[in-house]
Amino acid sequence: MPSSTTRSESQNTRTAAKQPPAAPAMKVSAEAKNEQHVQTEEEGPAARIRGGCIPCPLLSPYGSRLASNPRNNPSLPKNLVGRLPSDLHLLILSHLPVHDFPAYALCSHATSALAYDDSIWQKRWNALGVEKNGFGATLDDVEAHQKGQVAASRAAAPPTIPVDDDFGDFATVDVLQPKPDEMGDFVGGFDALAATAKPLQVPLAFAPAPKDTFRNKFIRAYNLLKPLLRHLSSPPHLILSQFGSVASPSLRSQAKLFHLLALFLSEAIRPVKKYDVLALALRSAMDRFDASLLSAFDVADGKGDEATMKEAAESSWELWDGAGDWEMGKVWAEKREIFYQHGWKPLDNITKNGLDFTPMDEFMSQILAAVSEHGARAVRIFPPPAQVLIAFADRVANEVVGEYITSLLERAREVSTAMFLQATAACFRVSWKMVDTLMVAAQEREDSEITRTKAEDVIYRMFEVNMDEYLDEEVEYLKLVFDNICKSWDRQMAEKATSNSTTRFLSAHNPAQVKRNVLTSFTNVLLLPVTIVPRTVNAVGGALITGGSAAVQGIAMLNPQRWAGGTGGAAGGAADGGAYSKNFEKEGNGSMLFEADVDNDDDEENDRKTVATFTSDTSTLATSMTESARKNGKDSDTTTNQLDLLLSLDVALELIHADREALKRVEAFAGYPGHYGHRVRDTIEELFILMLQTLGERHVTKGFAQATERMTEYKPAEHEETTSVAPLVQFFELVHLGDMIQSMVQVYFDKELAPHIDKTDFLNAIVREKKRFENALDESVAGGLNAGALFSLNRPSQVEHIILTQTKPREYYPPEDTPLDLGPTKACTEAINCLEKHCKLLKGSTSKEVLEVFYQEIGIRLIAILQKHIKRQIISLNGGFQVIADLNTYHAFISSLKVQAIASDFSHLKMLGHVYVVEDAKDLAQIVRDVTRYGGAYRPEDIYEFIQRRSDWKKIEKVVDKTMYNLSFKEDCVIC
């Protein structure tokens, strides 16, 4: 010590010699020191910590006390311990091993006070998991055991006589049972520090009770567990025997003690320096104990002792560290006999006639029975977090059910794609029964933690290996089915090229009501369940689609083409070529009627009412067409008399049916999560889009294009019939069929597709394709209506043909002695009848806007025809009244269409007829000059052309010219 003192003094002397004389400001007076001391004592330990006034050999270098004082340097933070913030010290303490705490606390009073911060000990207390894992009883058992050992050691110790010595208070320390706030070997180590450095003061509102602090709880657990670590230096078999006397003799208590010690020796706590070595020794002992538990579990399993099995399982789960599979649950599942049964024959489900899943039903009944029995026991004996039931179900699904399904699907794939698709959906549907069985087994325990989502994931994981191939084949096969349906229809059209056509919708008294009835029945058919799992041979034939050749009978019979005729056959199959047959009771055999809204009390009376509802109303147009065809005895035109057959509800129904069958199969997988869930939803959209594209491009648009082309080739002058235009009648029937197809697509979309998509999302692929289909149909109808208007009203058109052929030579120039008949002429009546029937055909099949456009086009072109017709005639005064009668009739017909634009034009045309009944030439000239009389529709020059058709025009020409133009040839004209 003297030598060290001499070295320090000499060093200080050399340092002082090198430094300049101390400034007066560096001297601190006694009064200042006393004042500073008083202020520090008033502020308490916290102020001393912040001010750094307590010397710290590790954290405060020599001579830095004044520089680090916040009062001398206001720019420094106030909450400092030495030169570091207190938060940084707390962060260091939170990661510091427990065995290094005394050394850190001995650095200074400030660091000693920080060691009392409860947040540091809360982290370590939580790492022990006492509340989380229920280790409170284990600590109590250890404490009781240690108290018993202390009492026994004191009773065995010899008596002592108290003698005063120089050690003072150290003689009162109990080494075997230290104070609650001391840790192990550091007995009494914090007493001296606690006397000089108190912990940081916490507000009373937040200060926990002294005995309930996390520090005190951790110190108690530390003092109880640390003495047990000395046993870990023994071999594993001795460790088990030594720990067996510490805790309760039950397996669960011993397992909890091992678990608690494993957490105590973890990286988060590190109670001693060689904690990692001790942790390895503890793990070896735990593995040995776990092996004994597994042996006890097997013995109990053989006896059926579920109580012992449950205790062993819970104890083993307590020891499991979470790495890999839990051995006990895995071994139990491997010993179930369901994995070793044989004799199942998956190929028995494939018969000569198709699929029959009766063998698979028997197979699944055995699987479900095993899952129910063993699964219920697993729930009862194993801890809920172990999820042994789900692991067992996974193995059953993959190793037993999965292999059975794989063999079945491979064979079905070799037979046909259709069988593979149906077998895939059917296998998934049958396998889904395991979900309900698992949920029933999970009810054996309220806290089983088995949710339906976990049970469903078992089947989803099992079936993932089949999903890619299935979804790809579903789309490709549906394309093939659609192609076969369209090709079959094209062949039928070629075979029906010489058959007579029959109207269906147009022959009804109320086509709109008929379509509503059809849609109602179509909706009811869509709501019928689809058979996914075939269990009989008959069901297989109805469920499989072979080349799209036939739809389900209930859907196919919705076709109105089947209503016309005696046998209810295909389109055009009516024996008499009529519309709705009145002899259903006699003809029968497949005729399809739709039920009216009547009560079901009397079946016979209801049948009669139903037949009367749909058979008594036959259109006059259809009757006249049928009678005309019979009189002629031959087709009017083999190329234009087939327009109504260019579209077929049969084809639309078959396409919808094929798409619905595929959709229902894919819908079985609609709940798939993750990647395959997105693929399933994309496939559903793709199937519907394929149906719309095929129906629109290869049937509807194609049919309307052919109809429009044929209408433009029609020549009315070559046909004797004048009251109607056959192609236009058939085209209107085609419009009704197109509207019916669009309505069925809408119903199908609302019932089947709407649940899978957002109908308000205009960017959705289905919504966009559906809109494109509707626009294409509207454009096709508009193009056909335009062609119909062209050949109905343009030269050589049907209306003009009627007017030309039916107008007599002297219709408007009758002899003087002929009595006047102020009714319309025959030509006028026939032309209006033709137009009226054609206009009525379109009602109920298109929107009001389209009707108005069509009616307006008819009115405009009819005016042009009438103007030309009048300019070709010679009209007398008496004939003028006949012209007015005809124009009034035309005006009344146009007014009935309720289109204001063309009604006003015909009103002006009607006023124009007055120029033929005015006798005085001057009055006639004034009428011609009055342009306001015709609403500006006709100029004087236009009216001048009309009055030139008067029979007395040569007589009144000069007077009219002179009055109109103030001309006088004798006065104004000089001939040179």
List, as one string, the DSSP characters of 542-566: HH--STT----HHHHTT-GGGTSSS
Res 201: pLDDT: 44
Structure tokens at 543: 């469920």
State the pLDDT at residue 210: 54
pLDDT of the residue at 506: 59
Q: What is the mean pLDDT of residues 696-714?
A: 83
Give the pLDDT confidence score for residue 594 in this predicted structure: 33
pTM of the model: 0.64
Q: What pLDDT is attached to residue 170?
A: 42
3-state SS, residue 355 = strand
Tokens of 474: 């579903």
pLDDT of residue 759 exceeding 70, the answer is yes
Identify the CA nearest to 908 among candidates 926, 882, 890, 881.
890
pLDDT at 818: 76
pLDDT band at 614 (very low <50, low <70, confident <90, very high): very low
Structure tokens at 112: 């000693």
**686: pLDDT strictly greater than 90:** yes
Radius of gyration of the chain (CA): 52
CA distance 113 to 817: 139
Q: What band does 185 get if pLDDT is binned at 50, 70 and 90?
A: very low
Indicate the pLDDT class of residue 505, thresholds 50, 70 and 90: low
Per-residue pLDDT at 5 = 42
Average of per-residue pLDDT across 939-959: 89
**Closest listed residue to residue 647, CA positions, set 454, 504, 465, 546:** 504
pLDDT band at residue 370 using 50, 70 and 90 as cut-offs = very high
Residue 350's DSSP bridge partners are 355
Q: What is the pLDDT of residues 825-835, one digit of tens each?
A: 999 999 998 88
Burial of 180 (0-12, 13-18, 19+ CB in 10 A): exposed
Between the alpha carbon of residue 395 and those of residues 174, 368, 458, 780, the distances in Å are: 59, 13, 9, 58
Q: Is the pLDDT of residue 24 over 50?
A: no
The pLDDT value given to residue 758: 85
Which DSSP string corresponds to 458-512? Answer: HHHHHHHHHHHHHHHHHHHHHHHHHHHHHHHHHHHHHHTTTSPP--SSTTSS-HH
Q: Which residues of 395-407 are buried (b: 16+ CB within 10 A; e: fewer)?
A: bbbeebbbebbee
Min mean pLDDT across 194-203, 362-371, 909-918 is at 194-203
Question: Mean pLDDT for the chain?
Answer: 74
Q: What percent of the chain has pLDDT over 70?
A: 68
Residue 875 predicted with pLDDT over 80: yes
Which bin fits 823, alpha (ψ -120 to 50), beta or left (φ > 0)? beta
pLDDT of residue 430 exceeding 80, the answer is yes
The pLDDT of residue 919 is above 90: no
Q: What is the pLDDT of residue 616?
A: 32
C-alpha distances (whole Å) from 913 to each of 803, 874, 877 are: 18, 13, 11
Specify the higher pLDDT residue, 765 or 32. 765
704: confidence class by pLDDT, cuts 50, 70, 90? confident
CA–CA gap between residue 492 and residue 699 (Å, rounded): 13
The more confidently predicted of residues 512 and 403 is: 403
Lowest mean pLDDT segment, chosen from 615-624, 829-838, 883-892: 615-624
**Rama region for 53: left / alpha / beta (φ>0; ψ in -120 to 50; rest):** alpha
Query: Reduced to 3 DSSP states, what percent helix, strand and coil does the chain have, rounded to the nearest 5?
Result: 65, 0, 30
As a three-state string, the secondary structure of 108-156 is CHHHHHHCCCHHHHHHHHHHHCHHHHCCHHHHHHHHHHHHHHHHHHHHH
pLDDT of residue 150: 66
Name the band, by pLDDT with cuts 50, 70 and 90, for residue 789: low
* CA-closest candidate to residue 752, choices 687, 813, 808: 687
Range with the poorest average pLDDT among 421-425, 728-732, 853-857, 971-975: 971-975
> How much of the chain, in percent, has pLDDT values that exceed 90?
24
User: End-to-end distance of the chain based on CA atoms, in angstroms?
Assistant: 163
Of residues 191 and 401, which shows the higher confidence score?
401
Q: What confidence score (pLDDT) does residue 413 get?
A: 93
DSSP string, 846-859: S-HHHHHHHHHHHH
- What does the pLDDT average to over 11-19? 42
Give alpha helix (H) positions in 382-451.
388-396, 402-415, 417-431, 433-442
**DSSP three-state, residue 746:** helix
Read off the pLDDT of residues 55-78 as tens digits, 9 standing for 90 and up: 444 444 433 444 445 444 555 456
Interstrand relation of 84-85 and 80-81 (parallel, antiparallel or unpaired): antiparallel
Mean pLDDT across 415-429: 94
At 927, the pLDDT band (50, 70, 90 cuts) reads confident
Tokens standing for residue 829: 């009546």
Task: Check whether 82 has a pLDDT greater than 80.
Answer: yes
* Greater pLDDT, 241 or 588: 241
